[in-house]
Chain A
Amino acid sequence: MTVLGALLLVTALGAAPEPAPPADPLGGSPNVQFRVLEPKPFPDALRHELTLQPFVPQIGSTFTTHWLSSLTYTFHATEWLGLRVQPFWVWHAQRSRFSSELLSRVRQDAAAPSSVMLQWGAIAAPEWSPIRGKFTAFGGIVRYGFVLFAGAGVGGTEIELKTSDAVGPATYGSTGLRMVATGGAGFRVQLGQRWTVRLEVQDLIHWGGVSHINGCNATDLQTLDAQRTAGVITGAGVSGQCNVSAFQGSTGAGYDRSNDVSIARAKVNEGGTDTLHVVGVYLGFGVEL
């Protein structure tokens, strides 16, 4: 009877529609009423963190493509709040594959305000770590934090003038400094007392129109275009900010830079504004001091 009862009990348990979660080994202990919170093994407060993001690809680009590198300094004021300062350098910015396709197949080009590219910049942003946790992976325990940040800074910008073709590579003109706003989120994993790995998605947002190229406004470019038609660009009569030398001489491939004047003039005369997003995936390796 006892054996039969045990068999019935085992069968009933096996046929249970859902397996019960494993018992907490401390759950039944009369000595455990509250779990003691584990202190953070690697505290962050009042520490400095340097993170290098060597290769940041842009994702979801429409008319332009950016690849950049970034260095992020973070001062952790408390365990939850920090301040980050992040200079970045765009070492590859060019017309996107889609934009090239539009130009070659249907002879349409993006509007000038939509084609402005970031060259470099620096942003400052408060950083918030609202969520911390740990997970097991491949037999080990990894501690991580989820970070959110938003801030602003400045960036240098440029625009493509001549497209890359048989005559030579593309040429670019500076469109000046712009305010850059940023926002992002990601995970920060702590590997021991000193090392960190960050995986973040960050949006660099800049906006505006194209009113100057190489410092020259529409009137300056009209003057330079007239001089070019007359034979030589002298730069006489243009404003002091206009960098005339950017439209003089030739490129290494033999392209006459004065041809850029009419292209720049057309872009400045287009008017309009646009808000541009450079969304990148930032994989960074850091050290905490």
Chain B
Amino acid sequence: MSSFRVLALAGLAVVLAPARALASPEPPVQPRLYPVGGRFSLAATVGISVFDTLTRTGTLELRAGWDFSEWLGVDASVTGALAGHTGLADRIGQHLLQTPAVGTVDDLSDLWELKAVILAGVRLAPVYGKFNLGSDFPIRFQAYLWLGGGAAWLDRTSVVICRQVTSREEGTCGDWFTESRVAPVVSAALGFRLFTGVHGAVLLELRSLVWKDSYLFGVDRAAAESGNVTGQRAPSPGFTNTMLIQLGYAFIF
């Protein structure tokens, strides 16, 4: 009788053991559908500047990247830019020219216009997730922080120093004072890779480009208007921050 009881309990244990395992399974965790670790990527983006005051910028960027792991990668990029004065900058120059050229004037800051930039940096992507567009269209994404630097090719057209006034009444200038230089640039970006498949992702990015400003102080307006630009470099010119919103596509190989 006793051995029968033991056998019965053992049989019951054998039957119940799998059932217990099924009753409390490990929570199913879906693996990353779009892993990027160890993969190379090529991307193209277009961008426009936001929060423009005196200059506005449009960019076209080509970028190559390598992801060491799912959360760490590096990028190198070449960007060409079209930049110009805003309407506000032009109005400031026009109003100044309509006043008599008496005394000295200091040029304005944040007037350097981006022409091209090369950048290299580190991409930290600690966030991977998904959201649903509609009821049945899941989008997987990576959010990343990008930090790096490089060199920027910059042009500057003054709105204060005119070397040839065309019309004092209308405030028009035939030859604004211009400069060009190559400057070191620091960049940070916050962005998203919205995966469209194993091979690609839409890029959406907010990028900051910072370079040291440079402009003239104490320019004699009358001398400048006769072609002789005087004055000295501002001792503490500060930094110019250009914010870009960039949208593009990355091919991941």
Q: Which residues of A are in contact with B by a Cβ distance under 8 Å?
A: 17-26, 59-60, 62, 98, 101-102, 104-108, 131-138, 142, 144, 146, 279
Contact = CB atoms under 8 A, between A and B. Distances in A.
Contact of B28 (A25, A131, A144, A279): A25
Of A17, A59, A106, A144, most B-chain CB atoms within 10 Å: A106
B95 A135 contact: no
Contacts of B132: 131-133
A102 B92 contact: yes
A106 B35 contact: no
A133 B28 contact: no
B194 to A, nearest CB: 12
B106 A105 contact: yes
A135 B129 contact: yes
Interface of B: 28, 30-35, 38-39, 50-51, 53, 88, 92, 95-96, 99, 105-110, 126-133, 141, 143, 160, 198-199, 243, 253
Given A22-B31, A98-B53, A108-B96, A137 B39 contact: no
Of A19, A142, A144, A279, most B-chain CB atoms within 10 Å: A19
A19 B35 contact: yes
B28 A136 contact: no
B131 A133 contact: yes
Contacts of B35: 19, 21-22
Given A18-B199, A21-B198, A22-B31, A106 B108 contact: yes
Nearest to A138: B126
Contacts of A60: 50-51, 243
Contacts, number: 80
B170 to A, nearest CB: 17
B51 A59 contact: yes
B96 A106 contact: yes
Contacts of B39: 19
Contacts of B199: 18
B31 A24 contact: yes
Contacts of B127: 135-137
Given A105-B108, A108-B92, 11 more contacts: A19-B39, A21-B32, A25-B28, A60-B50, A60-B51, A60-B243, A98-B110, A105-B105, A106-B106, A131-B131, A134-B129
Contacts of A138: 126
Contacts of A24: 30-31
Nearest to A27: B30
22 contacts: A18-B198, A18-B253, A19-B38, A19-B39, A20-B198, A21-B32, A21-B34, A21-B198, A22-B31, A22-B35, A24-B31, A25-B28, A98-B53, A101-B109, A102-B92, A106-B95, A131-B131, A132-B132, A133-B130, A133-B132, A136-B129, A138-B126
> Lowest 6 CB-CB distances: which A-B pairs, in order?
A135-B129, A60-B51, A133-B131, A22-B31, A105-B106, A131-B131
A135 B128 contact: yes
Nearest to B51: A60
Nearest to B125: A137
A104 B217 CA distance: 12
Given A17-B253, A21-B35, A62 B133 contact: no
Contacts of B106: 104-106
Nearest to B38: A19
